Structure 1
Amino acid sequence: MEITELASEDVVTVYLDESILEVAETLREERVGSAVVLDSNDDVLGVVTDRDLVVYGQQFVDSLATTTVNDILSMGVLSVGPDESVLGLTELMREEGVRRVPVVEDGEILGIVTLDDVIVGLAEDLESPELENLAAVIEAESPRGRSGPDDDR
């Protein structure tokens, strides 16, 4: 299984100077839990998550409109290339304590791989009923897989 097979090519991005209110709105509109953070040159700086907004952003509750991603983003770019092995990816995720990793080649974002993507991919490869059940739960609970308050359902 290749990383590019697991990666979602539909990557939501935000810029370092966007306010955390703008980022929260983007995550809500796109129905995702994270966005890749770019600088003004479109270079990848990291990933900001809905959890980051809550845990780290709460200290800025009185200035949400003026607090930027830069104020809450952990420094240090973490990404993999398209040739990275799934084992290498999962080791990196474990060592760094992350669940989402951008796939980047020559400065261009090719996609993003999440822990959920890895589990779903392994379930397909291993043909394990237990993993297939887990993958079905993940897919049903995926922000893009369920309806939201703005849907007609």
Structure 2
Amino acid sequence: MPQHVSDIMTGHPTTVGAQTSVTAVARIMRDQDLGAVLVTDGDRLRGLVTDRDLVVRSLAEGGDPEEHTVSGACSDDLVTVGPDDDLDLAITLMREHAVRRIPVVDHGRPVGIVSLGDLAMERDPDSALGDISVARPND
């Protein structure tokens, strides 16, 4: 029985506008215990920013993180899937594009995100990645 992306995706993803400061996004990630946030322009998906993106593409460049916006740190060449797409498509796209997270969009609007951890929990919950995905974060 084919599974759909909507069966395992995290719905209602956290989004920020492209002009949100790097500091504000970092605080959202900290407060909500997130590793990635979707970047939108209005209600349309524009990009995805990870905690690593904030460090490598923004903080490492120097300057005031209150002045830098997330638009300069986000990935904007995105691979996306729809909620009704087969889970196998998400897996194939992650492999082909070497990404750990894929935004889920419906008519251009973000409705979720599916991660490598979500897939590990669904397909192989006893794997090391599955165990790590359900473990409490290090504080």
User: TM range, normalised to the smaller chain?
Assistant: 0.7 to 0.9
Three-state SS of the structure 2 residue aligned to 1:64 is coil
User: How far apart, CA to CA, are the structure 1 residues paired with 2:59 and 2:121?
Assistant: 33
Q: Of residues 24, 35, 44 in structure 1, which corresponds to 2:37?
A: 35
What's 2:91 paired with? 90
Structure showing the higher helix proportion among its residues: 1
1:136 aligns with 2:131: yes
CA positional deviation for 1:147 = 7.2
* TM-score, with length taken from structure 2: 0.88
1:80 aligns with 2:78: no
What's 1:49 paired with? 50
CA positional deviation for 1:83 = 2.1
What's 1:120 paired with? 121
CA positional deviation for 1:12 = 1.1
User: How far apart, CA to CA, are the structure 1 residues paired with 2:77 and 2:131?
Assistant: 33
Three-state SS of the structure 2 residue aligned to 1:32 is coil
Give the total of aligned pairs: 137
User: How far apart, CA to CA, are the structure 1 residues paired with 2:124 and 2:9?
Assistant: 15
Structure showing the higher strand proportion among its residues: 2
Amino acid at match of 1:26: I
What's 2:59 paired with? 58
Three-state SS of the structure 2 residue aligned to 1:62 is coil
What's 2:21 paired with? 19
8 Å Cα contact 1:13/1:35 also seen in 2? yes
Q: What per-residue deviation string (whole Å, max 9, x for no partner) do you get for residues 1-47 of structure 1?
A: 221111011411111001111110110111110101101x2200121
Three-state SS of the structure 2 residue aligned to 1:53 is helix
* TM-score, with length taken from structure 1: 0.80
CA positional deviation for 1:77 = 3.4
8 Å Cα contact 1:60/1:67 also seen in 2? no
Amino acid at match of 1:65: E
What residue ranges of structure 2 are gaps of 5+ in the alignment? none
8 Å Cα contact 1:46/1:78 also seen in 2? no
CA positional deviation for 1:146 = 4.0
Bigger radius of gyration, 1 or 2? 1
